[in-house]
Amino acid sequence: MGLQRQSNGQLITLDNGSELGAGGEALVFAVPGEPSLVAKVYRQPKQMHGHKLAAMLANPPDNPTASQGHMSFAWPVDLLLTTGTAQVGGFLMPRVTQMRLLIDFYNPKSRREKCPLFNYLYLHRTARNLAGAVGALHARGYCIGDVNESNILLTETALCTFVDMDSLQVPDRETGAVYRCRVGKPEFTPPELQGGKSFADFDRRPEQDMFGLAVLIFQLLMEGTHPFAGVYRLPGEPPPIEKRIAANHFPYGSRKVPFNPMPAAPPIELLHPTLRQLFLRCFEDGHSHPSVRPNAKTWQIALKEAEDSLVTCAKNEQHRYGNHLRSCPWCERTRILKGRDPFPSVAAVQSGQHLQPLKPKKIPIVPAPLQHLPAYPRVQAPVGYGQNSYKLPQPPPIAYTPTQLGRPRRMELKLPSVNPLVAGLYILALAGAGVWYGRNGGLPIFSIAPLLKSMPAGNNSPTASTGINIKVTHRIQYQEAAVQAIAFSKDGKILVSDREDGTILLLGLEGMPQIKPIGALLGKSAVSAIAISPDGEILASASRGDNQIKLWQMDTGELLPQIAAKEGIVSLAISHDHQIIVTGSRDTTVKLRNLSNGTLNLTFKWNSGWVNAVAISPDQQTLVAGTESGTIHIVDLNALKEKQSLKNGSLPVKSVAFTPDGKTLASSHGSKINLWNMATGQRKSTMTGHIGEIKAIAISPDGKILASGGADKSIQIWDLHTSKLLTTLNNHESEVKAIAFSPDGKMLASSSADGMIRLWEIKN
């Protein structure tokens, strides 16, 4: 193939042996005698190519990394003319070497393999450099159009280079013509260009590039997670990413959407607060008003602020995290990933330890009845009940037995003449009998979903030598999001659990083995903690979203006066005499409030990090508070003074529980459980068996056994007298978030990050 340089007439001969790559529109060749250049040659040259490239050569962007001897753009340097004609057949551009695709750095697996010492500071710097390069293009009137990860290369020092420059949208300053970008990846395309629109029909604008840039920055700082990726909470197949973008289904935003964040994604709180606000501006506010999306300069300033706030973990110098966090999130993530460190230490990399394969753990899946409870209508309460709460009336009789088997069928069901509210409540009650509901012509349409009968628990039961037999009897799922809190009523007839929409769901257990939703208490924000008073009369819930503590009368569903709380509550406890409600919060405080009127009586503030767990001793004399730093603070409730603290290492305390006699306290520290003598403050024993952080512990009413669950998806049952492991229950398929014993000790309830609740029968 014969081509001629336009600048000096030099002939260049290219052959198949020098081909470096190929795309849909062109081929790329090494240039003989010019190792620093490559030639991009069009398969079918067009006159438009020559005009567009000439406009680019006449108006190159400033190079923001020129002072570091690095080129930010593989910009055309000369045109190639077909031999014997004046037609442009291609162009010469700089050859890019010793760089990798951007995805190799933000994808945790490829980063660990190819550039393991590229830490979180470098990812922030990469994002800054990306924003700087985009800003330089916009300053010259260019729009990228096809923003995506495959058009960006990166060095191991966080310097980026944009390639495929001839796909830009290019303005011709002399003629006023605009040469459009005709391509684009849907997952980087803003909502206003979604829906099958032809890119060739639109002049792109800078704010549309800013959507794609924000996606890339989100992926860089959130371990490769796409901002619109999530777990679908509705029946049916989840829509593709482009439809989620078009519908503004950003799962990390302030709007209610049918998606939850991906379970494997880092928490959004990992990001610097300013960055979180910019993502909201881009993806939520910018959905209807693209002009409000942050520009490149705004991103640069915010990323510089976030980068300057990074601190170094004391345990691993490669762990960098924002100083707005109380503890290292990468240490926590390493525990969740069972030792797979997102940013391995220098020593681990030098020894190759970071590439050692993890030993897979076989987790038996044991079948049990699965009850799907569909989402129900959020309605105002009928007269006689508290605001935003309701109980279910007795549903109308239907000729259907929930346990019958057979193929699902659809049927119309005529409801009695009642108001729409009661009709909606009937729907919820029927959902508990395995009924899925929808709408057709304004009438409820039901599809009968048969429920399976109880099945054997398989190898869940431990050997007879342990003296205890536990088997799963029910699986209940009514959302894909994590169930953060569960509790039994005092009589054991109701199981209380939270929903991500702020609702507290009441599940009736009296008619076991059939379980039905018997009521719901409606809130407005995701619940972070639940507590039931020892006498079973009052249910309390706390949520960080609306900063409210809600109180209900358990027997009537009446909503009592709410308590305003601004401290980000994550744990609750109620005293036996109804006088005090105790809260533990993210602002490192424990607060004691008057339960009847919400008056703040006392505040304890320690420099120990978030207060993850609080508990009151059975004799009402002692309050304990477990913190993120590993310290357990102990308060004398008579004197209202701290009397001592317990500490064993620096791992966060995520759960605490008293034995029924109050003489022993159990606390979780990472993957260990400590038992403490409350009279002496000495550690009695340590129980180890979990792989990963323990999220919840509970002690049986007779004080004989302890149950623990956590990040390794298992529940472990321990003998409190001997501190020995009795059995391990491996039925959960996701991180165990909460555990509770029934008041008679014959049942254990557990919930997990995938929204599943399991009920276990206990026989001694």
pLDDT, averaged in runs of 10, over the chain (764 residues): 86 85 86 92 91 96 94 96 86 94 95 94 96 96 95 95 95 94 94 89 94 98 96 89 96 91 91 94 94 94 94 94 92 90 93 72 41 34 29 29 26 34 37 30 25 30 55 84 89 88 84 76 79 88 79 82 80 82 89 85 88 92 92 91 86 93 94 94 92 91 95 92 92 90 94 90 86
For residue 390, what pLDDT is reported?
Answer: 29
Query: DSSP strand E in 430-568: where?
Result: 435-440, 443-448, 469-477, 486-488, 494-498, 504-508, 516-521, 527-532, 538-543, 548-553, 563-564
| Cα 61 from Cα 73, distance rounded (Å) | 9
User: What span, in angstroms and rounded, lies between the C-alpha atoms of 440 and 185?
Assistant: 37
Q: Give the C-alpha separation, 385 to 53, whole Å.
A: 72
Query: Residue 425: enclosing H or E segment and its boundaries?
Result: helix 420-431
Residue labelled with tokens 């129980």: 687
Tokens 């009402």, located at residue: 620
pLDDT at position 75? 97
757, β-bridge pairs: 476, 751
CATH class of 98-355: mainly alpha
- At which residue do the structure tokens 């400590």 appear? 674
Q: What kind of fold does domain 458-763 have according to CATH? A: Methylamine Dehydrogenase; Chain H (2.130.10)
What CATH topology corresponds to 1-97? Phosphorylase Kinase; domain 1 (3.30.200)
Q: For the chain, state the CA radius of gyration.
A: 31
| Beta strand ranges found along 48-177 (DSSP E) | 78-82, 88-94, 100-101, 152-154, 160-162, 170-171
Burial of 579 (0-12, 13-18, 19+ CB in 10 A): middle
Q: What is the pLDDT of residue 467?
A: 66
pLDDT at 725 (0 to 100): 93
Distance separating alpha carbons of residues 633 and 619, to the nearest angstrom:
18
* Secondary structure (3-state) at 687: strand
Q: Which of 542, 408, 550, 418 is nearest to 485 (CA)?
A: 542
What's the burial of 365, exposed, middle or buried (CB within 10 Å: 0-12/13-18/19+)?
exposed
pLDDT at position 481:
78
pLDDT of amino acid 215: 98
Segments making up each domain of the chain, as ranges: 1-97, 98-355, 370-448, 458-763
Sheet with 715-719: strands ordered across = 694-699, 705-710, 715-719, 724-729
Tell me how far apart the alpha carbons of residues 269 and 324 are, in angstroms, rounded to a whole number: 9
Q: Tokens 């949520």: give the residue.
A: 543
Residue 510: what residue type? Answer: E
Please choose, from the candidates 517, 507, 488, the residue with its C-alpha nearest in 3D space to the C-alpha of residue 428: 517
> CA 40 to CA 682: how far, in whole Å?
74
